């Protein structure tokens, strides 16, 4: 029998991802026959969560030298830096086990712990789209792919945010048990096996957590003039920024080139319009300054993973089909 270790980082775990992982693998064992001995592993005898509302008592401590063939790292709460500082023993244990041949999987923002361990170096990874800006700031050398629901490289797995973690759990059930068991668990827990992208769920809010006042002013100008055709050369000149330095400063501040940023805010505005109005696709397109239907559809699908019509049909129940 293999050993599954579900980590419980001290004080800053997400209870739901621990419970969901435990329940799905327990159900897989019941349906298929035991593949894993499932243990909750921590460096503390009791972990208090959600301001004292819940506590978790692990099965084994690191001092018990638990075995692990597969390690699951749950989502972390919003205090990522504190979590990493308080959990060096867990990070060291995960690193050692991975070097010894264990596979490791992070759920949602659990990717921060994997990144801190150095295990994601040279690999693609995913995490919750809302945590992407912080993740890139902390680990700029890593290749973050927030559009992906699942990444799988060299025995290391990551997933997108929140309940998309369930898709990774089923992916691991299929790998370690079989397809039939994964389908049974998907049906039992009512999980959509077909989801392959986090993009339709992403909300682009614009990266303004920086100190470059001129670039913030440029961002605000873009956001207030979505229907206009904006020349980056003229924009740089208008804000007295040397054209050569404009792209560099903009990307340093926002992690996007000016052109990428403009595309993202335009598509975000289009998404909101598709969600809340009865405008047809062409009207939405014109409102954000596009007049080439093919180009608009291609860009919309590249960013969201859906066509404009599919997006509207998914998120606007009152919209008339067109």
pLDDT band of residue 86 (cuts 50, 70, 90) is: confident
Mean pLDDT value across residues 135-142? 93
In this model, does residue 319 exceed pLDDT 60? no
Q: Which domains does the chain have, with CATH numbers?
A: 2-201 (3.40.50.880), 213-315 (1.10.10.60)
Asked whether 204 and 265 are in contact (CB, 8 A), the reply is: yes
Q: What is the pLDDT of residues 118-133, one digit of tens each?
A: 999 999 999 998 898 8
Q: Which residue has the higher pLDDT, 278 or 322?
A: 278
Asked whether 33 and 184 are in contact (CB, 8 A), the reply is: no
pLDDT band of residue 209 (cuts 50, 70, 90) is: confident
Residue with tokens 């593949």: 35
d(CA 250, CA 253): 5
What mean pLDDT, rounded, does the chain reach? 90
d(CA 263, CA 247): 15
Residues near 232 by beta carbon (within 8 Å), at least 6 away in sequence: 243, 246, 247, 258, 259
Angle between helices 258-276 and 213-224 (to 10 degrees): 40
Is this model's pTM higher than 0.75 or not? no
pLDDT at 13: 64
Cα angle 194, 200, 203; round to 5 = 150
């Amino acid at each position: 029998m293999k050993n599954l270790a579900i980590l419980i980082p001290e004080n800053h775990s997400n209870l739901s991802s621990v419970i969901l992982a435990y329940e799905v693998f327990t159900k897989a064992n019941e349906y298929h026959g035991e593949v894993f001995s499932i243990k909750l592993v921590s460096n503390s005898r009791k972990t208090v969560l959600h301001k004292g509302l819940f506590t978790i008592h692990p099965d084994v401590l690191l001092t018990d030298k638990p075995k692990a063939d597969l390690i699951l790292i749950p989502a972390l709460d919003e205090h990522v830096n504190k979590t990493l500082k308080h959990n060096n023993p867990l990070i060291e244990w995960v690193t050692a086990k991975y070097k010894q041949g264990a596979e490791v999987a992070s759920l949602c923002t659990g990717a921060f712990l994997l990144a801190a361990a150095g295990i994601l170096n040279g690999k693609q990874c995913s995490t919750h789209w809302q945590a992407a800006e912080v993740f890139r700031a902390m680990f700029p050398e890593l290749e973050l792919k927030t559009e992906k629901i699942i990444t799988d490289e060299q025995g290391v797995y990551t997933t997108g945010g929140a309940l998309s973690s369930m898709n990774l759990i089923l992916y691991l059930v299929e790998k370690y048990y079989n397809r039939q068991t994964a389908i049974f668990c998907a049906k039992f827990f009512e999980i959509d096996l077909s989801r392959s992208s986090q993009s339709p769920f992403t909300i682009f809010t614009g990266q303004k957590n920086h100190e470059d006042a001129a670039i913030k002013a440029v961002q605000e100008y873009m956001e207030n003039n979505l229907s206009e055709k904006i020349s980056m050369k003229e924009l740089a000149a208008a804000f007295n920024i040397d054209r050569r330095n404009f792209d560099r400063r903009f990307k340093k501040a926002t992690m996007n080139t000016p052109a990428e940023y403009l595309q993202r805010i335009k598509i975000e505005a289009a998404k909101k319009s598709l969600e809340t109005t009865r405008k047809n696709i062409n009207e939405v397109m014109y409102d954000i300054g596009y007049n080439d239907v093919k180009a608009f559809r291609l860009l919309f699908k590249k960013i969201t993973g859906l066509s404009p019509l599919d997006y509207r049909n998914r998120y606007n129940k009152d919209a008339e089909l067109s």
